[in-house]
Amino acid sequence: MSVDIQLAPVIHFEPGAQSFKPSRGGNLAASALRAGSLLAFVAILFVFSLTAPYFLSVGNIGNVLGQSAISGILAIGLTVVLIAGGSNVVTGGIDLSLAANMGLSAAVYATTVQLGYGDAAAVAAALVTGFLIGVVNAAAVVGAGIVPLLATLAVMNIVAGLELVLTQNTVIPASTPLLTALSSSGPLGIPALAYVLLVFTLIAAAIVQYTPAGLRLYAVGEFPDAARAAGLPVRRLVASAFIASGLCGGFAGVLSVSNLSGSTTGSGEMLLPVVVTALLGSVFSRRLVPTVIGTLLSTLFVGFLVNGFQLLNISSVLVSGVQGLLILLVVSATTLLRRQEA
């Protein structure tokens, strides 16, 4: 019960107000870290904007948002699984099939378009693909009781194989009115994908952070025994988290087709960056738990870093290294602060 009470007043966009009023000693470290990571975010933006004047222009920010849309939506899908599955990555919530899911959904979308169907049918086909992958994951984890890491690993192999079967490892071009609209610019000259990401995040955050079902996901993930004792439908909630994640994969698949004007191979490369983004996201939350807005912030953090590097002509070779260092820095800070707190 206390779980819900603690979780209810999660307010995301008032870092200052939060960090100056630590209600308990334990919250101090968390607030410091959260304020620290937001500060680091702002500092990086500041440094880049000084060195690359174009960096903080509306156009560039829009570009970063647009380029982050696909990974952001995948990371939000993974966040839902992390919330419902708990923090232990090996035995708890993880969905390794997300990137492959995006690849297959994109291939299904492009193939449906090639077969002469319209946008509505193609989008539906892609979403159904993602949904079905989510259902298989849910059945494997909740029904058969397979550890999520193993279950989604096997599903990832199946899905990646199906994508190869469908595409014969080639690019399937597609151009439809929807794809044209998605790859065009919206108001303020900002890419349409940027708006898609923002709207998607708001809807997902509203569902996960502010509905009873969303709050129950946290209860199930953090205290499964307590949740079960309180009469929550634990199995159904975990299953729905995997299905939601599958749907995110399907949706990201459609967007990826618009981004590359066709389905392309190599979606598996997205997997680890998405895992990193989703895990980093918890640093941007008040209680250091995965949240949808936190994941959006961490997606943008990584997006701005990559973009700033490009503007400064720093070799793209360093991007993955900096991402790695970032994880280690953030996580060491978290661990050390937690230790002080204890």
Partner 1 sequence: MTLQTSATAPSIPRAVIGVIVNNALVLALITVFAIFSLASPTFLTIANLQSILVNNFTLLAIVAIAMTFAVSVGGIDLSVGTAVDFASFAFVSLVLAGQPVAVAALAGLGAGAAVGAFNAVLISGIGISPFLATLGTLFIGRSIQQLLTNGGNPVYLPPSGIPEAFRFLGRGAIAGIPVPLILAAITILGATVILTRARFGRVALAIGIQTSVVRYSGIAARAHVAVAFILAGLIAAVAGLILSATVTVYIPSSGSAFLLNAIGATFIGTTLSRLGRPNIPGTVLGVLLLGIVANGLLLTGLNFYWQQVGTGLLIFAVLALSFITRRKASA
Residues engaged in binding partner 1 (CB under 8 A): 89-90, 96, 140, 144-147, 149-151, 153-162, 164-165, 168-169, 272, 275-276, 279, 315, 317-325, 327-328, 331-332, 335-336, 339
Element (H, E) at 210: helix 192-210
Residue 180 or 320: the one with the smaller Cβ distance to partner 1 is 320
For 251, phi then psi, to 5°, come to: -65, -45
**Rounded to the nearest whole angstrom, what is the least distance from the CB of residue 61 to partner 1 in the complex?**
25
Residue 169 or 180: the one with the smaller Cβ distance to partner 1 is 169
**Rounded to the nearest whole angstrom, what is the least distance from the CB of residue 87 to partner 1 in the complex?**
9
**Rounded to the nearest whole angstrom, what is the least distance from the CB of residue 206 to partner 1 in the complex?**
29
Residue 187 or 321: the one with the smaller Cβ distance to partner 1 is 321
Length in residues, the chain? 342
Pairing of strands 262-263, 172-173: antiparallel
Tokens of 203: 């809807």
Beta-carbon contacts of residue 76 (< 8 Å; ≥ 6 apart): 200, 201, 204, 248, 278, 292, 295, 296
Which residue carries 């959260």 as its tokens? Answer: 34
**Rounded to the nearest whole angstrom, what is the least distance from the CB of residue 198 to partner 1 in the complex?**
27
Element (H, E) at 172: strand 172-173
Residue 181 or 312: the one with the smaller Cβ distance to partner 1 is 312
Residue 153 or 171: the one with the smaller Cβ distance to partner 1 is 153
Residue 157 or 211: the one with the smaller Cβ distance to partner 1 is 157
String of DSSP letters for 77-99 = HHHHHHHHH-S-TTTS---TTHH
**Rounded to the nearest whole angstrom, what is the least distance from the CB of residue 140 to partner 1 in the complex?**
6
Burial class, 242, CB count within 10 angstroms (exposed 0-12 / middle 13-18 / buried 19+): buried
Beta-carbon contacts of residue 213 (< 8 Å; ≥ 6 apart): 207, 237, 240
**Rounded Cα–Cα distance for residues 129 and 140 (Å):** 17
**Rounded to the nearest whole angstrom, what is the least distance from the CB of residue 158 to partner 1 in the complex?**
3
